[in-house]
Amino acid sequence: MMASKQFKAFEHAGWESVVSEYDAAFGHLTIQAIGPLLDAVGAGRGMRLLDVATGPGYVAAEAAKRGAGVVGVDLSAPMVAEGRRRHPTIEFREGDAEALPFPADSFDAVVMNFGMLHLGRPDEALVEAHRVLRPGGRVAFTVWAKPPETVGFDIVLRAIQAHGNTSVPLPEGPPFFRFSEPEECVQTLHATGFAHPRVTTVPQCWCLPAPDALFEAMRGATVRTAGLLRAQTDRALDAIRTAVRAAASAYSRDGIIELPMPAVLASGVKSDS
């Protein structure tokens, strides 16, 4: 419990300070999963949908375009403020995925785009999603596929292994790629009360303007990976940057770096009984 509190505080502080950086580096990447995510819960007109870990509200905005009544919730106050600024007609609330500020049976669908891997107690978030869903309601979430499929992570983690130190003291959280395993998604959905679990892969491409942009995105717009990079010596960090630049250059097409970054999409249904 203590470890998960420290991890939450670490993630919370991180996400309070990288709003514009996250949007610039990841905004055009994570939106690629929104269509399949919303399809997995059948998002449409008249449905009440909760977007957990909404960030700047990308998913919430697309769900609203489909005619759903949407609420976005996020732990980071600056993220919530950014969601409200961009989408003044959508309701955004500050709140914790592991203790949702909503009554039982209040949504038809709960979605979470790239949120699970930032939670100290992701199982608890699914228990909460189950509680706030009406019977028959659907949950869906995305996470990153594991490296080497997610080339951006593969390049950076390999460079840290080769030139730096991967066992630096950071608040301990669940394995970053835990839900990249389809079987883990299925088991956890079942264990938290969901029926008919489904797991698919969503192809995504991270288009970056220059080979250095990958290192800068990981260092300036993430929380856990940035923490790992911050803990390296200056000398190691220089070597890591050089290795990342060289590896990313191999993915250049017409001057743009195109990195495959597939997502794993999992969904389930709250049984009627």
The residues of the shown chain that bind ligand SAM, judged by CB under 6 A, are 8, 11, 15, 26, 30, 53-55, 58-59, 74-76, 79, 96-98, 113-115, 118-119
What is the DSSP code (8-state) at residue 54? -
* Spatial separation of the C-alpha atoms in residues 221 and 230, rounded to whole Å: 12
* Spatial separation of the C-alpha atoms in residues 154 and 148, rounded to whole Å: 5
Three-state DSSP state, 112? strand
* Spatial separation of the C-alpha atoms in residues 6 and 69, rounded to whole Å: 34
Least gap, CB of 238 to ligand SAM (angstroms) = 27
Smaller CB separation from ligand SAM, 98 or 108:
98
Least gap, CB of 101 to ligand SAM (angstroms) = 10
Least gap, CB of 239 to ligand SAM (angstroms) = 27
Least gap, CB of 11 to ligand SAM (angstroms) = 5
Smaller CB separation from ligand SAM, 131 or 236:
131
Least gap, CB of 129 to ligand SAM (angstroms) = 12
* Spatial separation of the C-alpha atoms in residues 110 and 129, rounded to whole Å: 6
- Tell me the residue number closest to ligand SAM, measured at CB: 55
Smaller CB separation from ligand SAM, 29 or 155:
29
Both tokens assigned to 73: 């919730």
* Spatial separation of the C-alpha atoms in residues 5 and 67, rounded to whole Å: 37
User: Where is 204: in which H helix or E strand?
Assistant: none
Smaller CB separation from ligand SAM, 164 or 173:
173
52 contacts 73 by C-beta, under 8 angstroms? yes
Smaller CB separation from ligand SAM, 30 or 180:
30
